[in-house]
Amino acid sequence: MTLSIDLLLGFALFALVTSITPGPNNTMLLASGVNFGFNRTIPHMLGITCGFFSLVLAVGFGLGAMFQTYPLLYTVLRYVGAAYLLYLAWKIARSGPVSENQAGKSTPITYWGAAAFQWVNPKAWIMAIGAISTYTPLQGYFFNVVVIAAVFALINLPSVSVWVVCGSLLRSLLRDRRWLRVFNWGMALLLVASLYPLMLESLS
């Protein structure tokens, strides 16, 4: 089976839904849009898209199979990701008022930080494995992996930018320090809540 137009369209819908729905990346982008604005969040967005592109390629070219062979490695990676997510949640919760962020007293997540986070982001792994296992035909496999990764990246970037735009639009409403603090703590708690499936699995 080759990568037909129908299969590609089905995958494009999968990529859109998984990219634009809430998750750790989009929660952080919404908070960054509020605290730093659209322009200063561009490196964060590009880091997510490029980091995820490389992750999909790696999964397609055999990294996913390695984790099936050595599940302990995957478990370690997930817990490293959880720890880093808690650190990012703390940074968001402690973000200062918009005026301080504009003055450079606080900085958004960098391109490399966002790209590296994709490798320890549980949702990103689920998306990558789902894309490769469900939508990548074996005939012309390596070419299809590259196509799947590229299409995912093209859909991912505008999808995640929607969250930054929404955050930027909220900036004027959240200039009051008290409301901004409530918002940042709310975003931080949502990030922590995204770890619920991992914690539930650990207890079972």
* Whole-number pLDDT of residue 44: 97
Q: Which domain holds residue 107?
A: 5-203
43-80 burial code (b ≥16 CB/10 A, e <16) = bbbebbbbbbbebbbbbbeebbeebeeeeeebeebbee
What is the Cα–Cα distance from 18 to 137, expressed in whole angstroms?
20
Residue 45, pLDDT score: 97
Output the six-digit token pair for 181: 């603090």
Distance, CA of 134 to CA of 175 (rounded, Å): 45
Q: How far is CA 28 from CA 115, 153, 164, in A?
A: 13, 18, 9
pLDDT score recorded for residue 201: 54
Contact 101, 31 (CB under 8 A): no
Which pLDDT does position 142 carry in this prediction? Answer: 87
Planar angle of CA 190, 196, 201, nearest 5 degrees: 165
**Could you tell me the pTM of the whole model?**
0.79
Distance CA(95)–CA(2), nearest Å, equals: 49
DSSP, residue by residue, 76-96: HHHHHHHHHHHHHHHHHHT--
Count: domains in the chain = 1
pLDDT at 68: 67
Rounded Cα–Cα distance for residues 142 and 146 (Å): 7
- Looking at residue 140, its pLDDT comes to 83
Residues in the chain where the model's pLDDT stays below 50:
103
